[in-house]
Amino acid sequence: MELKEIGEFGFIERFSPEFKSLLTKNVFGIGDDCAILPMNDTEDLLVTTDMLIEDIHFLREKITPWQLGYKSVAVNLSDLAAMGATPIGTFLSIAIPPGVDVEYLDELMKGYHAISDRYQTPLLGGDTTKSVKHLAINVCAIGKCPKGQAKLRSGAQAGDVVCVTGSLGDSAGGLQVLLNQLESNEDTYYLLKKHHQPEPRIELGETLVNLNRVHSMMDISDGIASDLKHILKASGKAAKIELNKLPISDQLKRVSQQQNWQPEELAVGGGEDYELLFTLESSLLEPLQRLFLEQFGQTVFPIGVIEKGEPEIHWVKEGKKVQFGKTGFNHFQ
Amino acid sequence: MELKEIGEFGFIERFSPEFKSLLTKNVFGIGDDCAILPMNDTEDLLVTTDMLIEDIHFLREKITPWQLGYKSVAVNLSDLAAMGATPIGTFLSIAIPPGVDVEYLDELMKGYHAISDRYQTPLLGGDTTKSVKHLAINVCAIGKCPKGQAKLRSGAQAGDVVCVTGSLGDSAGGLQVLLNQLESNEDTYYLLKKHHQPEPRIELGETLVNLNRVHSMMDISDGIASDLKHILKASGKAAKIELNKLPISDQLKRVSQQQNWQPEELAVGGGEDYELLFTLESSLLEPLQRLFLEQFGQTVFPIGVIEKGEPEIHWVKEGKKVQFGKTGFNHFQ
């Protein structure tokens, strides 16, 4: 049987039940953005890992080595942020093909160091090896958060407001800029940068982890159409999302208009935004918006609500139900 | 500049000093088999990671998927054993090329589960992705050991006895069996199995970590000619190693005789033995040998002594100095 018939999650479901019996008390393994392990009386340990493969996740001639180093760490720190953790350190495995020279690697490690320095997260170890043809990078990141407080996907409650921490679809737009070789201007540069150099929402996660009325959280790596479903499945809830409330940047709107893209579809299905997606009690929305604005200059965008029901997303545009499929949004008749 | 001009360790030396300033108190990063981090009042956390790349570390048609799954975990658990740690869990990143089907992956995960079960070490998370051509596997393993007790490479003292926990060169012999397509018999099967399915020395490491008179330790992944030098450099000491004392299996001796191999050279330069290499106060040797034999049916092999001096290995055979170079051992004139 070919892997594409069952997909990544189908593969994981084949083996993960067997490993569950090996779990000890208070250890949470496969199924959230990070694993959670007891560390001491006040803190839990969180661990995550992500692999970037050349010609699958990046094109070596399109992303600078500095950005690749930065992004390798960023996508992992975003998984820590997704549960509210503070980073402790990272581990880098890198498989280097012929033709990748020392100068390239120096630049890659400068990007790696820049984000490590920004989040005070040391590189603690790793593995360096040869590869036949493609550059492969694996980063494992560890972090900590207050004991028992890590935000899970499974806590969403009916009535919760669904929020995101920033504009959606910019990274997917950046990928389109790259694939369609659009000419460089301020707007396309902005989208490309969002694609190549995402910023993990560490400080926001560290704040949200302490708020009991935040019930569930993850980061947006595959697009909310896919990611929000993980929250809904884990929580046994439905959601209603209003397309008009999706935060879409002016840059993406302008480029989309020129290129005849549908920005809502990039926002919903594109992925790699690395914003936080979370649900909270509606009473917390306004105080949180004020707090984030004052403390971080950061807007919190409510985009819908959690409802009772089967784990499905009900998309709404101007009061009407729409359906999101492989070809984008379709109005119901 | 091409990477081969400076090598893996040259590359690591280029960036590791910059990351040292990010280390916090009691955190040990790059330079030992694992990183060490404070966990709680009684235990430290140890973390290691290793990558296996198709056509660099293994040939997909030569190793069974079960063995590949087993070995992916084994080489990481061996790094934990190398410092005396008890495994807590592993994280698997796997990049899957077209042509690797679900049945292959099921077998791989069965091997992964077998060793996880044996050492009660759950798979806690990971990343599954596509690859263009080559199978790439990264495992990150975490473990714990008594606070401040992890065995480092840097503790060797003059007068220490240098010991190993099992026969050397079998895995390198197995690789030769494979590359030369030797015919299958009990001896070649034994060597192949040692190459494809190494056993991490977890229980031995867990015992050695509690013995203060064991001063330094690591595992043998590149061969003692290379690995022991890490201990010598970290400790600022020299070593005298007696070739006649290297434990060499009867199987390797017999196949070597038939094939005109030099088993001592495989033992010293071959690597992937995943035995423990450690140094201890000479007064502990006999009691430890008795303890290991009684408790584990395990022989401890003393192969030489630590001496004052530049970090070099002095090889001795039948009382005479010999030199180990790229073409093997040469007698001094």
Q: How far apart are alpha carbons B30 and B19 in whole angstroms?
A: 9
DSSP-assigned states of every residue in A183-228: PP-HHHHHHHHHHHS----HHHHHHHTT-TTEEEEEE-SS-HHHHH
Write down the pLDDT at residue B333: 35
pLDDT band at A30 (very low <50, low <70, confident <90, very high): confident
* pLDDT-above-70 percentage for chain A: 98
- The DSSP H or E segment spanning A35 is strand A35-38
Residue B72 CB: number of other CB atoms within 10 A? 24
Higher-confidence residue of A21 and A114: namely A114
Tracing tokens 């806590």 back to the chain, one arrives at A155
Write down the pLDDT at residue B273: 94
pLDDT band at A330 (very low <50, low <70, confident <90, very high): low
Write down the pLDDT at residue B327: 59
DSSP-assigned states of every residue in B103-170: HHHHHHHHHHHHHHHHTT--EEEEEEEE-SSS-EEEEEEEEEEETT-PPPSTT--TTPEEEESS-SSH
Give A-chain residues touching B125 at CB under 8 angstroms: 29-30, 34-35, 47-49
Give A-chain residues touching B101 at CB under 8 angstroms: 1-3
With an 8 Å Cβ cutoff, are A56 and B131 in contact? Answer: yes
- Is residue B213 within 8 Å of B283, Cβ to Cβ? yes
Give B-chain residues touching A34 at CB under 8 angstroms: 125
Give A-chain residues touching B138 at CB under 8 angstroms: 49, 51, 93, 127, 138, 140
**pLDDT, tens digit, for every residue of B81-101?**
999 999 999 999 999 999 899
Give A-chain residues touching B133 at CB under 8 angstroms: 132-134
Write down the pLDDT at residue A329: 61
Is A222 part of any known ligand binding site? yes
SS3 content of chain A, % helix, strand, coil (to 5): 40, 30, 35
Q: How far apart are alpha carbons A27 and A306 in whole angstroms?
A: 28
- Chain B nearest C-alpha distance from A220 (Å): 15
With an 8 Å Cβ cutoff, are A121 and B91 in contact? Answer: no
Is A329 part of any known ligand binding site? yes
Residue B257 CB: number of other CB atoms within 10 A? 10
- Chain A nearest C-alpha distance from B109 (Å): 7
Q: How far apart are alpha carbons A280 and A292 in whole angstroms?
A: 14
- Kindly identify which residue of chain A lies nearest to residue B94, measuring between CA atoms: A51
With an 8 Å Cβ cutoff, are B132 and A91 in contact? Answer: no
**pLDDT, tens digit, for every residue of B110-163?**
999 999 999 999 999 999 999 999 999 999 999 999 999 999 999 999 999 999
**pLDDT, tens digit, for every residue of B243-277?**
999 999 999 999 999 999 999 999 998 889 999 99
Residue A274 CB: number of other CB atoms within 10 A? 24
* Among the partner residues A23, A41, A91, nearest to B122 by beta-carbon distance: A23
- Chain A nearest C-alpha distance from B53 (Å): 7
Q: How far apart are alpha carbons B331 and B321 in whole angstroms?
A: 7
Which amino acid is located at B227 in the chain?
Answer: D
Write down the pLDDT at residue A256: 94
Whether residue A333 has pLDDT greater than 50: no
Write down the pLDDT at residue B218: 96
Write down the pLDDT at residue B326: 63
- Token readout for A90 is 């990272």
Compute the mean pLDDT over every residue in chain B, rounded to the nearest whole number. Answer: 92
Give me the numbers of helices (H) and strands (E) for chain B, helices first please: 10, 13
Write down the pLDDT at residue B260: 92
- Kindly identify which residue of chain B lies nearest to residue A107, measuring between CA atoms: B15
Q: How far apart are alpha carbons B90 and B166 in whole angstroms?
A: 25
Write down the pLDDT at residue B330: 60
- Kindly identify which residue of chain B lies nearest to residue A45, measuring between CA atoms: B39
Write down the pLDDT at residue A328: 61
**pLDDT, tens digit, for every residue of A3-13?**
888 888 888 88
- Kindly identify which residue of chain A lies nearest to residue B108, measuring between CA atoms: A15
- Chain A nearest C-alpha distance from B45 (Å): 9
Q: What are the Cα distances from residue B298, in Å, to A114, B79, B167, B275?
A: 48, 19, 11, 12
Q: How far apart are alpha carbons B76 and B35 in whole angstroms?
A: 13
Write down the pLDDT at residue A332: 47
Whether residue B332 has pLDDT greater than 50: no
- Is residue A299 within 8 Å of A292, Cβ to Cβ? yes
* Among the partner residues B34, B102, B123, nearest to A29 by beta-carbon distance: B123
* Among the partner residues B19, B56, B113, nearest to A15 by beta-carbon distance: B113
**pLDDT, tens digit, for every residue of B220-250?**
998 999 999 999 999 999 999 999 999 999 9
* Among the partner residues B19, B49, B55, nearest to A93 by beta-carbon distance: B49
Whether residue B79 has pLDDT greater than 60: yes
Write down the pLDDT at residue A327: 59
CA-based nearest residue to B112, from B171, B78, B68: B68
* Among the partner residues B96, B136, B140, nearest to A91 by beta-carbon distance: B140
Q: Mind listing the domains of chain B with CATH numbers?
A: 3-146 (3.30.1330.10), 161-331 (3.90.650.10)
Which amino acid is located at A147 in the chain?
Answer: K
Size of the A and B interface in Cβ pairs below 8 Å: 239
Whether residue B329 has pLDDT greater than 80: no
* pLDDT-above-90 percentage for chain B: 81
Whether residue B36 has pLDDT greater than 90: yes
- Kindly identify which residue of chain A lies nearest to residue B32, measuring between CA atoms: A125
Q: How far apart are alpha carbons B123 and A23 in whole angstroms?
A: 9
